[in-house]
Structure 1
Amino acid sequence: MTGFVYVLGSQTSGGYRTYVGWTLDLERRLAEHNSGIGAKSTRGSVWCLIYAERWPCRIEAMRREWHLKRDRSLRRRLARSVQGLGR
């Protein structure tokens, strides 16, 4: 079954935040985050999908999520590009 790893972004009063996760159903998961039943750290904000990768199975998506959570420079670049700040 295909798995996805994704990065969400949200503009908050404290600045622009990102969140990394994995799922089997990307649309459903984004809806969960925005309805307040997603991860605890995403509650209370409106999130948009800023990056996603498709993987052949959930295990590979979970492995990639582990790496993306630690890749702060990628997350900063994604946040800057979404905000129109370039590099």
Structure 2
Amino acid sequence: MSALTEMRAPRARLAEAMAFATSAIVGGQALAVAVTGRLAESHLPVAAFAVGSLTAALACVIALAARPGPDAGAAPHARVRGRFGNTAA
């Protein structure tokens, strides 16, 4: 998580981005503990583990869908003018 934040955040706002990411992780853990604790008490612990597994799978799908393609960091090809004014790739 920290490496992804470092890659995406502007250098001038890196500390703010890291603080936001850390706060989001802590908030997400607190919410997860509250929800799965209630599920474990009212239903079986199996329900709590199922919710945890489903949210982990959902996070994996979102991460795979949001990742950049193989050429995302590549520089675009420069167009060079030829001798006769035409462009050559």
Query: Do the two structures share a fold, i.e. TM-score over 0.5?
Result: no
Query: Which has more helix, going by share of residues?
Result: 2
Give the structure-2-normalised TM-score. 0.23
Between Structure 1 and Structure 2, whose CA radius of gyration is higher? 2
Bigger relative contact order, structure 1 or 2 (CA pairs below 8 A, ≥6 apart): 1
